[in-house]
Protein backbone atom coordinates (compact mmCIF):
# COMPACT_ATOMS: atom_id res chain seq x y z
CA UNK A 1 0.00 0.00 0.00
CA UNK A 2 1.41 3.37 -0.93
CA UNK A 3 1.71 6.47 1.24
CA UNK A 4 -1.35 8.11 -0.34
CA UNK A 5 -3.60 5.21 0.67
CA UNK A 6 -2.17 5.18 4.20
CA UNK A 7 -2.81 8.92 4.46
CA UNK A 8 -6.43 8.39 3.29
CA UNK A 9 -6.93 5.62 5.90
CA UNK A 10 -5.59 7.89 8.61
CA UNK A 11 -7.85 10.73 7.56
CA UNK A 12 -10.85 8.33 7.54
CA UNK A 13 -9.99 7.15 11.01
CA UNK A 14 -9.48 10.63 12.40
CA UNK A 15 -12.70 11.91 10.85
CA UNK A 16 -14.59 9.11 12.77
CA UNK A 17 -15.41 7.04 9.71
CA UNK A 18 -14.28 4.17 11.88
CA UNK A 19 -16.57 3.35 14.74
CA UNK A 20 -15.09 4.85 17.92
CA UNK A 21 -13.40 2.11 19.88
CA UNK A 22 -13.12 -0.24 16.92
CA UNK A 23 -9.70 -1.38 16.06
CA UNK A 24 -8.29 0.26 12.86
CA UNK A 25 -6.98 -3.03 11.47
CA UNK A 26 -6.70 -1.87 7.91
CA UNK A 27 -4.72 1.19 8.91
CA UNK A 28 -2.48 -0.77 11.22
CA UNK A 29 -1.82 -3.43 8.58
CA UNK A 30 -0.99 -0.74 6.06
CA UNK A 31 1.32 0.99 8.50
CA UNK A 32 3.06 -2.28 9.39
CA UNK A 33 3.44 -3.11 5.73
CA UNK A 34 4.88 0.32 5.04
CA UNK A 35 7.27 0.13 8.00
CA UNK A 36 8.46 -3.30 6.85
CA UNK A 37 9.08 -1.88 3.42
CA UNK A 38 10.96 1.08 4.89
CA UNK A 39 13.02 -1.26 7.07
CA UNK A 40 13.88 -3.39 4.01
CA UNK A 41 14.86 -0.26 2.11
CA UNK A 42 16.95 0.96 5.04
CA UNK A 43 18.65 -2.44 5.10
CA UNK A 44 19.27 -2.24 1.36
CA UNK A 45 20.63 1.28 1.76
CA UNK A 46 22.87 0.10 4.56
CA UNK A 47 24.23 -2.68 2.31
CA UNK A 48 24.64 -0.17 -0.52
CA UNK A 49 26.45 2.18 1.84
CA UNK A 50 28.81 -0.62 2.85
CA UNK A 51 29.45 -1.44 -0.81
CA UNK A 52 30.14 2.21 -1.66
CA UNK A 53 32.53 2.45 1.28
CA UNK A 54 34.34 -0.75 0.30
CA UNK A 55 34.48 0.24 -3.40
CA UNK A 56 35.52 3.74 -2.40
CA UNK A 57 38.49 2.28 -0.53
CA UNK A 58 39.28 0.06 -3.52
CA UNK A 59 39.05 3.00 -5.93
CA UNK A 60 41.30 5.05 -3.66
CA UNK A 61 43.79 2.17 -3.57
CA UNK A 62 43.72 1.89 -7.38
CA UNK A 63 44.21 5.65 -7.78
CA UNK A 64 47.22 5.48 -5.44
CA UNK A 65 48.67 2.49 -7.31
CA UNK A 66 48.19 4.27 -10.64
CA UNK A 67 49.91 7.32 -9.20
CA UNK A 68 52.81 5.13 -8.05
CA UNK A 69 53.00 3.47 -11.48
CA UNK A 70 53.22 6.88 -13.17
CA UNK A 71 55.90 7.99 -10.76
CA UNK A 72 57.89 4.80 -11.35
CA UNK A 73 57.44 5.04 -15.12
CA UNK A 74 58.47 8.69 -15.13
CA UNK A 75 61.54 8.14 -12.92
CA UNK A 76 62.72 5.02 -14.77
CA UNK A 77 62.24 6.65 -18.18
CA UNK A 78 64.00 9.80 -17.00
CA UNK A 79 66.97 7.86 -15.58
CA UNK A 80 67.31 5.78 -18.75
CA UNK A 81 67.31 8.82 -21.03
CA UNK A 82 70.75 10.23 -20.31
CA UNK A 83 72.73 6.98 -20.63
CA UNK A 84 70.86 6.25 -23.86
CA UNK A 85 71.66 9.70 -25.23
CA UNK A 86 75.36 9.02 -24.45
CA UNK A 87 75.28 5.58 -26.10
CA UNK A 88 73.65 6.95 -29.23
CA UNK A 89 75.89 10.04 -29.37
CA UNK A 90 79.12 8.07 -28.83
CA UNK A 91 78.17 5.44 -31.40
CA UNK A 92 77.62 8.27 -33.91
CA UNK A 93 81.09 9.68 -33.18
CA UNK A 94 82.72 6.25 -33.51
CA UNK A 95 80.91 5.74 -36.84
CA UNK A 96 82.49 8.91 -38.26
CA UNK A 97 85.85 7.17 -37.57
CA UNK A 98 87.06 10.27 -35.71
CA UNK A 99 88.35 7.91 -33.03
CA UNK A 100 90.14 5.62 -35.48
CA UNK A 101 89.40 3.49 -38.54
CA UNK A 102 86.78 0.73 -38.26
CA UNK A 103 86.60 -2.66 -39.88
CA UNK A 104 83.43 -3.49 -41.83
CA UNK A 105 82.30 -5.77 -39.01
CA UNK A 106 82.87 -3.07 -36.36
CA UNK A 107 80.88 -0.59 -38.47
CA UNK A 108 77.96 -3.03 -38.67
CA UNK A 109 77.97 -3.60 -34.90
CA UNK A 110 78.22 0.10 -34.06
CA UNK A 111 75.41 0.77 -36.54
CA UNK A 112 73.24 -1.73 -34.69
CA UNK A 113 74.08 -0.06 -31.35
CA UNK A 114 73.13 3.28 -32.89
CA UNK A 115 69.80 2.06 -34.31
CA UNK A 116 68.81 0.16 -31.17
CA UNK A 117 69.66 3.07 -28.84
CA UNK A 118 67.66 5.45 -31.07
CA UNK A 119 64.66 3.10 -30.84
CA UNK A 120 65.03 2.85 -27.07
CA UNK A 121 65.27 6.63 -26.76
CA UNK A 122 62.02 6.98 -28.69
CA UNK A 123 60.31 4.47 -26.39
CA UNK A 124 61.69 6.15 -23.26
CA UNK A 125 60.47 9.50 -24.63
CA UNK A 126 56.97 8.07 -25.14
CA UNK A 127 56.93 6.55 -21.63
CA UNK A 128 57.92 9.93 -20.23
CA UNK A 129 55.14 11.59 -22.23
CA UNK A 130 52.58 9.08 -20.95
CA UNK A 131 53.71 9.54 -17.35
CA UNK A 132 53.53 13.34 -17.68
CA UNK A 133 50.10 13.21 -19.34
CA UNK A 134 48.67 10.67 -16.86
CA UNK A 135 49.79 12.68 -13.87
CA UNK A 136 48.01 15.73 -15.32
CA UNK A 137 51.27 17.64 -15.77
CA UNK A 138 50.98 18.16 -19.54
CA UNK A 139 51.97 21.78 -20.08
CA UNK A 140 51.58 23.49 -23.42
CA UNK A 141 53.98 26.16 -24.65
CA UNK A 142 51.49 27.77 -26.98
CA UNK A 143 52.53 30.32 -29.55
CA UNK A 144 50.73 31.72 -32.57
CA UNK A 145 52.04 29.94 -35.63
CA UNK A 146 51.32 28.79 -39.16
CA UNK A 147 50.09 25.21 -39.12
CA UNK A 148 50.64 24.85 -42.90
CA UNK A 149 54.35 25.59 -42.45
CA UNK A 150 54.71 23.01 -39.69
CA UNK A 151 52.79 20.34 -41.65
CA UNK A 152 54.88 21.05 -44.73
CA UNK A 153 58.15 20.77 -42.74
CA UNK A 154 57.15 17.45 -41.20
CA UNK A 155 56.13 16.09 -44.64
CA UNK A 156 59.64 16.94 -45.96
CA UNK A 157 61.24 14.91 -43.17
CA UNK A 158 58.97 11.92 -43.75
CA UNK A 159 59.33 12.00 -47.54
CA UNK A 160 62.89 10.70 -47.10
CA UNK A 161 61.62 7.75 -45.02
CA UNK A 162 58.71 7.14 -47.43
CA UNK A 163 61.04 7.00 -50.42
CA UNK A 164 62.76 3.95 -48.96
CA UNK A 165 59.42 2.13 -49.32
CA UNK A 166 58.63 3.79 -52.67
CA UNK A 167 55.67 5.48 -50.98
CA UNK A 168 54.65 8.73 -52.64
CA UNK A 169 53.72 11.63 -50.35
CA UNK A 170 51.07 14.00 -51.71
CA UNK A 171 50.07 17.26 -50.06
CA UNK A 172 47.29 19.77 -50.46
CA UNK A 173 47.67 22.43 -47.78
CA UNK A 174 45.45 25.52 -47.59
CA UNK A 175 46.96 28.66 -46.14
CA UNK A 176 45.16 29.32 -42.88
CA UNK A 177 45.04 32.11 -40.33
CA UNK A 178 47.48 31.49 -37.45
CA UNK A 179 46.59 28.90 -34.81
CA UNK A 180 47.88 28.97 -31.26
CA UNK A 181 49.70 25.72 -30.53
CA UNK A 182 52.70 24.06 -28.93
CA UNK A 183 55.02 23.66 -31.91
CA UNK A 184 56.99 20.72 -30.52
CA UNK A 185 53.95 18.75 -29.34
CA UNK A 186 51.79 19.30 -32.44
CA UNK A 187 54.90 18.41 -34.46
CA UNK A 188 54.93 15.07 -32.64
CA UNK A 189 51.23 14.51 -33.40
CA UNK A 190 51.85 15.09 -37.12
CA UNK A 191 54.98 12.89 -36.99
CA UNK A 192 53.03 10.01 -35.50
CA UNK A 193 50.24 10.22 -38.09
CA UNK A 194 52.74 10.43 -40.95
CA UNK A 195 54.97 7.69 -39.57
CA UNK A 196 51.94 5.42 -39.03
CA UNK A 197 50.70 6.00 -42.57
CA UNK A 198 54.15 5.07 -43.95
CA UNK A 199 54.76 2.27 -41.45
CA UNK A 200 51.54 0.35 -42.12
CA UNK A 201 51.28 0.96 -45.89
CA UNK A 202 52.50 -1.35 -48.65
CA UNK A 203 55.47 -0.26 -50.76
CA UNK A 204 54.46 1.63 -53.86
CA UNK A 205 51.31 3.15 -52.32
CA UNK A 206 50.38 6.80 -51.72
CA UNK A 207 50.03 8.85 -48.55
CA UNK A 208 48.11 12.09 -48.83
CA UNK A 209 48.03 15.03 -46.43
CA UNK A 210 45.29 17.63 -46.50
CA UNK A 211 44.99 20.86 -44.50
CA UNK A 212 41.68 22.68 -44.53
CA UNK A 213 39.76 25.27 -42.54
CA UNK A 214 36.38 24.11 -41.18
CA UNK A 215 34.61 27.10 -39.64
CA UNK A 216 36.83 28.13 -36.73
CA UNK A 217 38.92 24.94 -36.77
CA UNK A 218 41.87 23.77 -38.82
CA UNK A 219 41.79 20.12 -39.86
CA UNK A 220 44.84 18.08 -40.83
CA UNK A 221 43.98 14.77 -42.55
CA UNK A 222 46.43 11.98 -43.32
CA UNK A 223 45.16 9.31 -45.71
CA UNK A 224 46.85 6.11 -46.80
CA UNK A 225 46.18 3.06 -48.94
CA UNK A 226 47.13 0.51 -46.27
CA UNK A 227 44.89 -2.11 -44.62
CA UNK A 228 42.80 0.45 -42.67
CA UNK A 229 41.47 0.03 -39.13
CA UNK A 230 38.70 -2.54 -38.51
CA UNK A 231 35.55 -0.97 -37.04
CA UNK A 232 35.94 -2.80 -33.70
CA UNK A 233 39.46 -1.36 -33.19
CA UNK A 234 38.65 2.26 -33.98
CA UNK A 235 38.25 3.54 -30.44
CA UNK A 236 40.67 1.05 -28.83
CA UNK A 237 43.74 2.21 -30.79
CA UNK A 238 43.68 5.54 -28.96
CA UNK A 239 44.44 3.73 -25.69
CA UNK A 240 47.96 3.11 -24.36
CA UNK A 241 49.86 0.10 -25.78
CA UNK A 242 46.94 -0.71 -28.08
CA UNK A 243 47.54 -2.10 -31.54
CA UNK A 244 45.26 -3.10 -34.38
CA UNK A 245 45.64 -5.94 -36.88
CA UNK A 246 48.00 -4.01 -39.19
CA UNK A 247 51.68 -4.89 -38.92
CA UNK A 248 54.55 -2.64 -40.01
CA UNK A 249 55.37 -3.38 -43.65
CA UNK A 250 59.08 -2.54 -43.41
CA UNK A 251 60.14 -4.04 -40.08
CA UNK A 252 59.56 -0.75 -38.20
CA UNK A 253 58.97 -0.68 -34.43
CA UNK A 254 55.40 -0.60 -33.11
CA UNK A 255 54.74 0.15 -29.46
CA UNK A 256 51.15 1.31 -29.56
CA UNK A 257 51.74 4.55 -27.65
CA UNK A 258 51.83 7.18 -30.41
CA UNK A 259 48.09 7.66 -30.92
CA UNK A 260 47.37 7.70 -27.16
CA UNK A 261 49.86 10.53 -26.69
CA UNK A 262 48.70 12.34 -29.83
CA UNK A 263 45.04 12.27 -28.73
CA UNK A 264 45.84 13.74 -25.32
CA UNK A 265 47.99 16.49 -26.88
CA UNK A 266 45.30 17.43 -29.41
CA UNK A 267 42.56 17.42 -26.75
CA UNK A 268 44.67 19.63 -24.48
CA UNK A 269 44.68 22.14 -27.36
CA UNK A 270 40.86 22.04 -27.57
CA UNK A 271 40.83 19.88 -30.70
CA UNK A 272 40.08 16.25 -31.50
CA UNK A 273 41.82 13.30 -33.16
CA UNK A 274 39.78 10.72 -35.04
CA UNK A 275 39.92 7.91 -37.57
CA UNK A 276 37.65 7.01 -40.46
CA UNK A 277 37.82 4.24 -43.01
CA UNK A 278 38.74 5.04 -46.55
CA UNK A 279 37.08 3.64 -49.65
CA UNK A 280 38.01 1.16 -51.10
CA UNK A 281 40.78 0.61 -48.52
CA UNK A 282 43.13 2.49 -46.23
CA UNK A 283 42.61 4.78 -43.30
CA UNK A 284 42.03 8.48 -42.79
CA UNK A 285 43.33 9.96 -39.55
CA UNK A 286 42.57 13.59 -38.86
CA UNK A 287 42.92 16.09 -36.07
CA UNK A 288 41.50 19.53 -35.51
CA UNK A 289 42.92 22.62 -33.82
CA UNK A 290 41.09 25.82 -33.00
CA UNK A 291 42.06 28.76 -35.18
CA UNK A 292 43.06 31.81 -33.18
CA UNK A 293 43.67 31.69 -29.45
CA UNK A 294 42.06 28.29 -28.83
CA UNK A 295 39.10 27.18 -26.74
CA UNK A 296 40.66 26.73 -23.35
CA UNK A 297 42.05 30.22 -23.00
CA UNK A 298 45.70 29.15 -22.56
N1 LIG B 1 47.62 4.32 -40.82
C2 LIG B 1 47.39 3.16 -40.21
N3 LIG B 1 47.01 2.06 -40.89
C4 LIG B 1 46.76 0.87 -40.27
N5 LIG B 1 46.86 0.69 -38.94
C6 LIG B 1 47.23 1.76 -38.19
C7 LIG B 1 47.50 3.04 -38.77
N8 LIG B 1 47.83 3.90 -37.77
C9 LIG B 1 47.75 3.19 -36.62
N10 LIG B 1 47.40 1.93 -36.87
C11 LIG B 1 47.18 0.85 -35.87
O12 LIG B 1 46.99 1.47 -34.62
C13 LIG B 1 47.97 1.03 -33.68
C14 LIG B 1 48.33 2.14 -32.72
O15 LIG B 1 49.05 3.18 -33.37
P16 LIG B 1 50.11 3.99 -32.53
O17 LIG B 1 50.62 5.10 -33.37
O18 LIG B 1 49.48 4.33 -31.22
O19 LIG B 1 51.24 2.93 -32.19
P20 LIG B 1 52.44 2.37 -33.05
O21 LIG B 1 52.61 3.17 -34.30
O22 LIG B 1 52.23 0.90 -33.17
O23 LIG B 1 53.70 2.63 -32.08
P24 LIG B 1 54.34 4.05 -31.69
O25 LIG B 1 53.54 5.12 -32.36
O26 LIG B 1 54.22 4.08 -30.20
O27 LIG B 1 55.73 3.98 -32.19
C28 LIG B 1 49.13 0.55 -34.53
O29 LIG B 1 49.91 -0.43 -33.86
C30 LIG B 1 48.41 -0.05 -35.74
O31 LIG B 1 47.97 -1.36 -35.46
MG1 LIG C 1 52.65 5.32 -34.20
Residue by residue, pLDDT tens for the chain (298 residues) are 666 777 777 677 666 655 555 556 676 677 777 777 777 888 888 888 888 888 888 888 888 888 888 888 888 888 899 999 999 999 999 999 999 999 999 999 999 999 999 999 999 998 888 888 888 888 899 999 999 999 999 999 999 999 999 999 999 999 999 999 999 999 999 999 999 999 999 999 999 999 999 999 999 999 999 999 998 999 999 998 899 989 999 989 898 999 999 999 999 999 999 998 777 789 999 999 999 864 444 4
What is the C-alpha separation between 149 and 140, in angstroms, rounded?
Answer: 19
Does residue 225 sit in helix, strand or coil? coil
What is the C-alpha separation between 206 and 69, in angstroms, rounded?
Answer: 40
Pairing of strands 168-173, 206-214: parallel
192 ligand 1 Cβ < 6 A: yes
249 ligand 1 Cβ < 6 A: no
* CA separation, residue 283 to residues 81, 276, 278, 279 (Å): 34, 6, 5, 8
pLDDT for the residue 13: 65
What is the C-alpha separation between 276 and 266, in angstroms, rounded?
Answer: 17
Helix (H) or strand (E) holding 289: strand 283-290
Mutate to test the pocket of ligand 1, among 118, 167, 188, 258 (most ligand atoms within 8 A of CB): 258
248 ligand 1 Cβ < 6 A: no
Measured from the alpha carbon of residue 123, the closest ligand is 1
Bridge partners of 213, per DSSP, are 218
pTM for the model stands at 0.75
Contact 176, 138 (CB under 8 A): no
pLDDT for the residue 163: 95
259 ligand 1 Cβ < 6 A: yes
Amino acid sequence: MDMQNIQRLMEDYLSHNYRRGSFPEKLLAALLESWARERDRAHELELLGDMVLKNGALIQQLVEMNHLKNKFLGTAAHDLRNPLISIRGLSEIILTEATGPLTQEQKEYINIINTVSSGMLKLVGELLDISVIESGRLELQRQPGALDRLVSERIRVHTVIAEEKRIVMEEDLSELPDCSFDLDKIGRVIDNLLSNAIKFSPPGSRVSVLLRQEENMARVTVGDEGPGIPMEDRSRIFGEFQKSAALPTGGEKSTGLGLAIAKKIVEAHGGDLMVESREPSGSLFSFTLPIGRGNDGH
